[in-house]
Amino acid sequence: MEISAKGLHFSALDKAVRDCTDREIVIRDCIGQRYLASGLAGKYIEIHGTPGNALGAYLDGCTLVVDGNAQDATGDTMNGGEIVVYGSAGDATGYAMRGGHIFVRGDVGYRCGIHMKAYKENRPAIVIGGRAGSFLGEYLAGGILIVLGRNEDGKPIIGNFCGTGMHGGEIWLRCEAIPTRLQPQVKAERVDGVPEGEVAGLIGQWCQKFGVDPAPVLRSRFWRLTPDDANPYRRMYTHN
């Protein structure tokens, strides 16, 4: 089914999506309608335009593909499923994610992955093709954040305060030199070439979705950030 979002209030568009019995839905002319697909499961939704805040909030198994940019809080408290953004995404992408994957071709704004967490088989992940703003992975408790943006132009691929309060999970940054201004509770390990495993698989998926050869990406130098065992934030929590 195809739905034109032109002139529709966000609540009317959301109702049209929820009332649709088709598994596959194409939304055209989307411009700022928020809360799309919040809490939904079992649908494949293709969005043309720019969805508003909280796209896929509490998503529970849908696949969302955005042919354009996404605004703030994409995947807020997402439980499962997949969000693919062919442009860039705004602030707080993946806020408090609990499961599922987000793949962004371009950049993300501030506080991407803040409060992400993992439990048993639920291990959320965000793969960013460009740069990430400040406070990436703030209070990260679990899951994986990967930033693939290179810095040939000399600009850092992350902003300030990366990993502030981090007490679980891991952050992978594709850059030659160790990022500056890392927080004292974060430990950085150089990795020359991504080994086989979960991270390599996520990078491979990102490359496949956006038509990029994965071989040179996987051969690149990364910095893997994890919580320092001695940092005070980690000791404050019973589950990581």
pLDDT tens for each residue of 26-41: 999 999 999 999 999 9
Give long-range contacts, CB 8 A cutoff, 24+ apart: 74-80: 74/102, 75/100, 75/102, 75/126, 78/102, 78/124, 79/122, 80/41, 80/122
Q: How many residues does the chain have?
A: 240
Residue with tokens 């109702």: 15
Share of the chain above pLDDT 70, in %: 93
> Is residue 153 pLDDT above 90, yes or no?
no
Among residues 143, 133, 142, 84, the alpha carbon closest in space to that of 111 is found at 133
Q: How confident is the model at residue 152 (pLDDT cuts 50, 70, 90)?
A: low
Q: For residue 72, how many C-alpha atoms fall within 13 Å in the half-sphere facing its CB?
A: 6
CA angle 47-83-55, nearest 5°? 65
C-alpha to C-alpha distance for 58 and 96, rounded to whole angstroms? 10
Helix (H, G, I), strand (E, B) or coil at 207: helix
Query: Where do the domains of the chain lie?
Result: 2-235
pLDDT tens digit string along 51-97?
999 999 999 999 999 999 999 999 999 999 999 999 999 999 999 99
What integer is the mean pLDDT of 224-238? 70
Q: How confident is the model at residue 49 (pLDDT cuts 50, 70, 90)?
A: very high
What's the fold here for domain 2-235?
Pectate Lyase C-like (2.160.20)
pLDDT computed for residue 240 by the predictor: 43
Mean pLDDT rounded to a whole number for the chain: 93
What is the arithmetic mean of pLDDT over 123-132?
97
Condensed to tens digits (0 to 9), the pLDDT of residues 182-211 reads 888 899 999 999 999 999 999 999 999 999
CA 24, 20, 81, 34 dihedral sign is: positive
Q: How far apart are CA 117 and CA 154, in angstroms?
A: 32
| pTM for this prediction | 0.94
In tens, the pLDDT along 161-180 reads 999 999 999 999 999 888 77
